[in-house]
């Protein structure tokens, strides 16, 4: 068998409101988005059932995280109380929460968050050999 790795993709969505403080210190009007989330995972070894990880288990973990954002004003949540709840920071926060829940030997390689069908931002965590 050739060497390489496997990739999984999880998708989810939530509805939430936010507003951003712009560089000139003005505030956007609060507005809603149907946020779409993609979580990419990578690993080199399949388990005893020839899967990198169980989609059902991973999706349940992601759903619990996403549920904390559902029907909220993101500006009111603790990770964003003193920072803009931009798509970039929402992606980073989802990654921060999901990473510890990934199975052994599986790592999150990217979290992408779509605000609209044409606008997305991603957070790419450092690879283990790049951390530090």
CATH assignment at residue 53:
3.30.479.10
Domain span at 10: 6-18+31-123
* 131 is a domain residue: no
* 132 is a domain residue: no
For residues 132 and 126, give the distance between their C-alpha atoms in angstroms, rounded to a whole number: 9
Is it the case that residue 35 has pLDDT exceeding 60?
A: yes
* 11 is a domain residue: yes
Segment 57-62 mean pLDDT: 98
Quote the pTM value: 0.93
* 112 is a domain residue: yes
Proportion of the chain above pLDDT 70, given as a percent: 96
DSSP string, the chain: -----EEEEEEEEEEEEE--B-TTS-BPPPEEEEEEEEEEEEES---TTS-SS-HHHHHHHHHHHHHTTTTEEGGGSGGGTTS---HHHHHHHHHHHHGGGSPTTEEEEEEEEESSSS-EEEE-PPPTTT--
User: In terms of residues, how long is the chain?
Assistant: 132
* 84 is a domain residue: yes
* 23 is a domain residue: no
* 128 is a domain residue: no
pLDDT digit string, tens, across residues 84-118:
999 999 999 999 999 999 999 999 999 999 999 99
* Overall domain count for the chain: 1
């Amino acid at each position: 068998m050739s060497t390489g790795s496997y990739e999984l993709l999880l998708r989810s969505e939530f509805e939430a409101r936010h507003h951003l403080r712009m560089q000139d210190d003005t505030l956007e009007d609060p507005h809603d988005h149907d946020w779409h989330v993609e979580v990419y995972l990578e690993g080199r070894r399949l388990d005893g059932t020839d899967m990198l990880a169980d989609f059902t288990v991973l999706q349940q973990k992601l759903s619990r995280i996403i549920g904390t954002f559902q029907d909220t004003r993101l500006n009111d949540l603790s990770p964003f109380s003193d920072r803009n709840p931009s798509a970039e920071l929402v992606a980073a926060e989802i990654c921060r929460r999901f990473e510890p829940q990934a199975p052994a030997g599986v790592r999150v390689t990217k979290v992408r968050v779509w605000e609209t069908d044409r606008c997305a931002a991603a957070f790419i965590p450092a690879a283990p050999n790049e951390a530090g």
